[in-house]
Amino acid sequence: MAPSAQSRHRTASRTPRSVRIAATVVAAALPVTAVAVSLDGGTPGATASPAPAAPATGPAVINDAFPTRDSADADTYVPSDESVWRDAVYDDAGNRLPNVEELKVHSPAMDRDIPVVTIRAKEDAANAPTIYLLNGADGGSGKANWLSQTTAIDFYGNRIGNVNVVIPMSGGFSYYTDWQQESGLDGDGNGNGGVQKWETFLTSELPGAMEQGHLGTSSDKRAIVGMSMTGSTSLVYAEHNPGMYDAVGSYSGCPATSGAGATAVDATLAMKGTGVTYEQMWGDRNGATARYNDAQVNVAELGDQQNIYVSSGTGLLGEHDVWSSPDVNRNLINESTVAGQGSPIEAVTNGCTHMFKAAADKAGVSDNITWNFHNTGTHQWAYWREDMYQSWPTLSAGLFGPESVADAQAVGDQAYDDYHASL
């Protein structure tokens, strides 16, 4: 049965009063992705001007999966120091894991090759829907990615089994958006490529070539999930492309990104240390392009989007932040990271998410969203693992229909319980 209004708003009674917070935090260990926010960016419920014309493009070109790690390493299209994620794709002998692929995908809009990892459906592959997972600030080039930090391969590939998962393993500090100008982030590790056009790639070039082409599924059902930096991106993609996604997930994101909200973006870009600027990405931070890419400004565009899951912690230390927890592992640096950085970052995203809820309430779209405001939790992967399990009923409702929710709840709950039993 479909989630009830009560379940969709099960945490609303715990919502603290909105706060005005501004913070700038850098560095990512454990890894923790830095975010900084000013919460008065954008006008709730307002709709920005239309986007500039998209670049001329064609379908992505997808090469065959690399059979071994040696063959992937030998290609050199990904610098060796940006491919830690390969540890999760290949076994100790260097052979790729069952149903997991590393693909070299060429984007016509960016004229560069991009690493994409897929987790293929093992059951009913001919009709399997597709879930796109977006990494956080570093785009997966370090250890902060879905493959290295979560059980995504087991959860989606084995416990669920009848979905395809697609994860781009590049695009750090880009917000996965179409940039306006050239920057120090253009190109791949070999210097190939031009101005970043990530939204064009992920919403126009890749889906058809990947889903009906490479994966060979007949399903047109798809979901998109982002966390931290891409917690806003997943919402923006849904706003820009009505009807494209059947479910959307946003974990610990900061939806307000224009005007005063640009502070969050500034801090994220500063982490890269290349001097790239907000203006290179979206131009004037109060201009039409910036506002078009602000999920809070355009929240009313989610009026027809169903099955949205939005979550955040409070910044208060929780069970995954204590000295003995696996993610801290009795390490003083780890403990100082979650307490000194992850805590204030999540406090900021919590305020951001409550501001987004206020905007959604005003725009009349809150009933489309499952709000999960955790009582505790810092800005780190342990809590996003939980969100992966807890959001599955919402995603499943969009991908398989409301009749799937009970079974999806059982699968998510079991994965959640097994995760906690392993701690």
Q: What is the pLDDT of residue 289?
A: 98
Q: What is the pLDDT of residue 42?
A: 43
Q: Running DSSP on this structure, what letter comes out for residue 126?
A: G
Bridge partners of 225, per DSSP, are 133, 249
Mean pLDDT confidence for 129-153: 96
Give the best-scoring range by mean pLDDT among 1-15, 36-50, 316-330.
316-330
Q: Is the model more confident about 62 or about 12?
A: 62
pLDDT band at 40 (very low <50, low <70, confident <90, very high): very low
Q: Collapsing DSSP states into helix, strand and coil, what is residue 91?
A: coil
Q: Give the torsion through C-alpha atoms of 276, 278, 280, 283, to 10 deg.
A: -170
CA-based angle 273:249:361, to the nearest 5? 105
Residue 374's identity, in one-letter code, is H
pLDDT band at 13 (very low <50, low <70, confident <90, very high): very low
pLDDT at 8 over 80: no
pLDDT band at 7 (very low <50, low <70, confident <90, very high): very low
pLDDT band at 55 (very low <50, low <70, confident <90, very high): low
Q: What is the pLDDT of residue 189?
A: 79
Starting at the edge strand that comes first in sequence, how are the strands of the sheet with 247-251 ordered?
Answer: 61-62, 100-107, 112-119, 164-168, 130-134, 222-227, 247-251, 308-312, 369-373
Q: pLDDT per residue over 341-355, tens digit each?
A: 899 999 999 999 999
Cβ atoms < 10 Å from Cβ of 180: 18
pLDDT band at 190 (very low <50, low <70, confident <90, very high): confident
Q: Running DSSP on this structure, what letter comes out for residue 416?
A: H
CA-based angle 265:269:274, to the nearest 5? 160
Q: What is the pLDDT of residue 146?
A: 98
Mean pLDDT confidence for 399-418: 98
Q: How far apart are the first and last CA of the chain?
A: 32
pLDDT at 251 over 60: yes
pLDDT at 218 over 60: yes
pTM of the model: 0.89
Instruction: Find the helix packing angle between 405-421 and 392-400, rounded to 10°.
Output: 150
pLDDT at 277 over 60: yes
Both tokens of 218, joined, read: 């007949």
pLDDT band at 37 (very low <50, low <70, confident <90, very high): very low
Residue 140's identity, in one-letter code, is G
Q: What is the pLDDT of residue 273?
A: 84
Domains along the chain with CATH numbers:
5-46+121-185+192-421 (3.40.50.1820)
Outline where DSSP puts E strands in 108-210.
Answer: 112-119, 130-134, 164-168
pLDDT band at 336 (very low <50, low <70, confident <90, very high): confident
Q: What is the pLDDT of residue 217?
A: 98
pLDDT at 402 over 60: yes
Q: What is the pLDDT of residue 270?
A: 92
Cβ atoms < 10 Å from Cβ of 56: 8
Residue (of 295, 333, 347) closest to 23 by Cα position: 347
Q: What is the pLDDT of residue 41?
A: 41
